[in-house]
Structure 1
């Protein structure tokens, strides 16, 4: 029951993050800059260390977590290129076609393929939140201080998850209703994950491989799509500062939690 209460706290912070992402007005470039920093922080200070610690297996001397990290990055790169989202010619830099549409003035609408990719990316974040809830439940069963550490980390960074879920959904051209629905799913996911731990547990090996893969997935989104989009129309020192601030925020959250 304690795990479900903690997971409910994660649900609240996820919803707050989604709400914050919706109410930014014309400061979209600042939102994207912050989102990229949050995602980079989650990858570097949360997902990758956890993946390497959870699964210590190696292949040709390389940790399996890092191999899955590369696989996650490359899989999304191949998928995105396959649906021809990026159309810039060599030597050119043009605004992406998957701009966050806000109505008639939202710019060129994204293709259905681009919207689908946005839903897949947001769905991956929902899956991550499910595993957050699972981690809460597993740590609660382990007892000691582990449960408290995991709870603090999850509740704090689920604000970023809710923020990023809405931002990514809209970035790829999906409408506001879809964004809200994905945030809702992201908010419910920790509760579902915590509830599942009452029945069974996921092996450390599978969990470590997933975390590595998901880290590569997020890194590609942050560096290939979100950061370029943030600086295309409004190159700004404030945007850069928010990216650094987002990464630093996650570092502080994870550091204090541990």
Structure 2
């Protein structure tokens, strides 16, 4: 049954990625919405669950929050290690993202490796979504139903964000689609794996805290600033608010 539910997550992930691909002419709106979805998933879904499941404090601070900060710093470190230094590029370059600095138009070259690393992190998270579904079925049908609704609903956002993040850093469409398909298949594999073992709740909570920090960094430091670079429109801000409110609605319905 857990694997069957994970198939629903598979379809929702593909639907999210397909939506991201179809609105390339409104890229700033896509990025604004993606940032809102990511903020909502972190603040309203991942972090509360991590605080509940991760266990006690470490030197006066909840373990989940320490891992949350560690995830944020890890994402920042990885980006700094992989990103290419800014420099002027041909304005027609596909990987050049225009910005205004000191009154001069420049372009920032985004390292494709950063996008692939971020996409891989999303795939890992989706695998853990599948594990969460399987673990919930081990607890009982009531818990399984709540987790299944939450996972399937926010996997639309996962698919949307996986494609957006991967392509944002200059990766070709083929690579972004490949990462999207991997992200869609990950919950099925994760759910299937729980047929052979039981995951400790504390370990799952710690993972959610760590990944929440990574996701928040991507939203705050990359996705949202990029959304407002060329089109600092009110509609972009509205999309961000709508994305966050949508996750709030899903969490409320799942609860």
Match in the other structure for 1:12: 11
Q: Secondary structure at the match of 1:235?
A: coil
Greater CA deviation, 10-19 or 79-88? 79-88
Residue of 106, 113, 129 corresponding to 2:94: 106
Q: How far does residue 57 in structure 1 lie from its aligned partner after superposition?
A: 2.0
Q: How far does residue 25 in structure 1 lie from its aligned partner after superposition?
A: 2.8
Please identify runs of 4+ aligned residues in structure 1 that moved more than 6 A: none
Greater CA deviation, 43-52 or 74-83? 74-83
Q: Secondary structure at the match of 1:27?
A: helix
Matched, 1:146 2:143: yes
Matched, 1:76 2:75: yes
Q: How far does residue 106 in structure 1 lie from its aligned partner after superposition?
A: 3.2
Residue of 182, 186, 189 corresponding to 1:185: 182
Match in the other structure for 1:42: 41
CA–CA distance in 1 between the matches of 2:95 and 2:126?
31
Match in the other structure for 1:128: 125
CA deviation map 1:79-115 (0-9, x unaligned): 2223454649xxxxxx9x9xxxxxx66352875x721
CA–CA distance in 1 between the matches of 2:68 and 2:215?
10
Unaligned 5+ runs, structure 2 = 98-107
CA contact (8 A) 2:82 2:113 kept: no
CA–CA distance in 1 between the matches of 2:138 and 2:202?
19
CA–CA distance in 2 between the matches of 1:20 and 1:222?
19
Q: How far does residue 215 in structure 1 lie from its aligned partner after superposition?
A: 0.4
CA–CA distance in 1 between the matches of 2:83 and 2:175?
22
Please, what is the CA RMSD of the aligned residues?
1.9
CA–CA distance in 2 between the matches of 1:205 and 1:136?
16
More strand by share: 2
CA–CA distance in 1 between the matches of 2:230 and 2:79?
22
TM-score (norm 2): 0.90
- How many residues matched? 243
1:179-218 matches, within 5 Å, as 179-218=176-215
CA deviation map 1:102-138 (0-9, x unaligned): xx66352875x72111111111111111111111111
Q: How far does residue 226 in structure 1 lie from its aligned partner after superposition?
A: 0.5
Match in the other structure for 2:156: 159
Matched, 1:229 2:226: yes
CA contact (8 A) 2:94 2:170 kept: no
Change (3 A) 1:84 1:8: closer
Matched, 1:116 2:104: no
1:24-43 matches, within 5 Å, as 24-43=23-42
Unaligned 5+ runs, structure 1 = 89-94, 98-103
Q: Secondary structure at the match of 1:145?
A: helix
